Structure 1
Amino acid sequence: MEILDIGEVAERTGVPASALRYYDEIGLVTSVGRRGLRRQFGPETIWQLSLISLGKKAGFSLKEIAAMFGKASVVELPRQTLHARADEIDNQIRDLTVLRDMLRHVADCPAPSHLECPRFRKLLRVASRPASRR
């Protein structure tokens, strides 16, 4: 079994050693020992860190991500939770698209006053609606 030093793991994954130590302390990853004061990790740590990074990018908390790691490093991805999160991301994309369009229009609008511009006023109405009604 290939054993990786904390510095090697940090270099390969881009995850700072301080984060690796924290993840080890809270049980997200598990060090297999130490060489002097430096923690050593198994090769599975690399894919675990990739999943942690992906989970964080998707908006999951470390606690939620930890729940996805079962016993013996078995990943238990809750499909319903993933679908719900994907739906939330779709809503964020729609909201951000409206915001982007508004900013571009405001930057380029030839109207003397933005409030005189019908398109700007429409964008304001859409932006002020609750997300569930957009």
Structure 2
Amino acid sequence: MFDIDIAELAKRAGLRASTLRFYEEKGLIASTGRRGLKRLFAPDTTERLSLIALGRASGFSLDEIAGMLDGPDIDRDRLRAKAADLDRKIEQLTRMRDGLRHAADCGRPTLMGCPHFLRIVKVAGARRRYRAEAV
């Protein structure tokens, strides 16, 4: 199969050419040469870009993704750690969603009169203060 130019790769991947140049600069993808002024890429670069997109959607930084794609296989311990991190975020988001639903459906005349809502506010404030002190 023939190499594709940067414009075609950008179109296939749904990315801007500037993003592809940035990814190349970061070592995430590599061009195979040039045709005139346009960079050329192997057709399987689209698969690598899909892996990068999956990593970004999972919360990995570009540097973390580059580190995992450098070796012969992806670091499975890093994947497990990220999955555990996502589990914690899902639990937190689930609690926030449930709190918002309670606030929306609460029969009290005002939310500040709802003991359950006040507990949510208190916990959120304590977390914010804890994070601020940790920094």
Q: Same fold (TM over 0.5)?
A: yes
Instruction: Give the aligned partner of residue 117 of structure 1.
Output: 114
- List per-residue Cα deviations over 1:26-74 (Å, max 9, x = no partner): 2110001111111110022111101111111111111111111236xx4
Instruction: Give the aligned partner of residue 76 of structure 2.
Output: 79
* Structure 1 residue identity aligned to 2:68: M
Distance 1:36 1:28 in 2: 23
Distance 2:80 2:118 in 1: 34
Instruction: Give the aligned partner of residue 63 of structure 2.
Output: 63
How much is the aligned-residue C-alpha RMSD, in angstroms? 1.9
Distance 1:110 1:4 in 2: 61
Identity of aligned residues (%): 48
Q: What's the TM-score, normalizing by structure 1?
A: 0.83
Q: How does 1:1-134 map to 2 (within 5 A)?
A: 1-70=1-70, 74=72, 76-124=73-121, 127=124
Structure 1 alignment gaps of length 5 or more: none
Moved more, 27-36 or 108-117: 108-117
Q: What's the TM-score, normalizing by structure 2?
A: 0.82
Alpha-carbon distance, 1:23 to partner: 1.0
Alpha-carbon distance, 1:12 to partner: 1.0
> 1:31 is paired with a residue of what secondary structure?
coil
> 1:40 is paired with a residue of what secondary structure?
strand
